[in-house]
Amino acid sequence: MIELVSQIARDVEAWILALTSSWWVFVALFALCTIDGFFPPVPSESIVITLAVTAHTTGAPNIWLVLVVAMAGAWCGDQIAFSLGRWIGTDRIPWLRSDRGRRTIERAERAIAHRGASFILGARYVPIGRVAVNMTAGAVGYKRERFVAVTAVAAVMWAVYSVLIGLAAATWLGHSTLLAMAVGVVGGVVTGVAIDRIMAWVARRRAARAEEPATVTASEAAPVGSSGAHPS
């Protein structure tokens, strides 16, 4: 399965590269970023990073259009995931019924209940995480107006982050476009995994603190000015 997904990713990237000198590349970029919002095997980060590298090294496609189209596609994909969560829930999605998928959903439910906006923003950098979080937001009745606004900010931040990774890789390894692409894509994946781990750690810490019983110390229980001794 992993080999198949990797092969699909390589084929999609090769197809995108073949379109870099055509306006069709922006249509493909928008479609892939949108689909990635509710179907994580589509490699939108790697496509944005790859196009940023080629834009820096060859001058095509236009880097600003790459940025804007990536933002728009990411935002649209998030809205679709939210709507799917509201219409059909998360239990009917096969890849969310796995052990990992259920753990991700449970974590998303807890996080959305306490800090929805920040969790949605952070999840945008994690391919499976963003789909699970956005679908869960729809399933638990998160306010659509707020979701639209938060995901707009998330889409802008994510697109800028992906383009900057590509530009950094191209600047560092400009003598080798393919190597710059590989390093940029790996850097994006590693960053996403790191963010996922940090989010999981924060969620566990918050859950642990929420489960701690409230305790009252002796000093808190004693009346103000009391010495704690019996009156003589």
The tokens 């919002």 sit on which residue?
37
Q: How far apart are CA 195 and CA 122, in angstroms?
A: 7
| Cβ-Cβ contacts under 8 Å for 155 (sequence gap 6 or more) | 70, 71, 72, 74, 75, 78, 124
Query: Which pLDDT score is estimated for 194?
Result: 73
Q: What are 181-194's pLDDT values in tens digits? A: 566 667 666 776 67
Q: How far apart are CA 45 and CA 15, in angstroms?
A: 15
pLDDT at 216 over 50: no
Residue 16, token pair as written in the block: 């995108």
pLDDT at 217 over 70: no
What is the secondary structure of 4-40 as a DSSP string?
A: HHHHHHHHHHHHHHHTTTSTHHHHHHHHHHHHHTT-T
Three-class SS state of 98: coil
Q: What are 145-182's pLDDT values in tens digits? A: 999 999 999 999 899 988 988 888 888 876 565 666 56
Do the Cβ atoms of 41 and 156 come closer than 8 Å?
no
Q: What are 71-125's pLDDT values in tens digits? A: 999 999 999 999 998 888 666 666 566 666 676 677 777 767 666 677 788 888 8
Query: Which pLDDT score is estimated for 178?
Result: 62
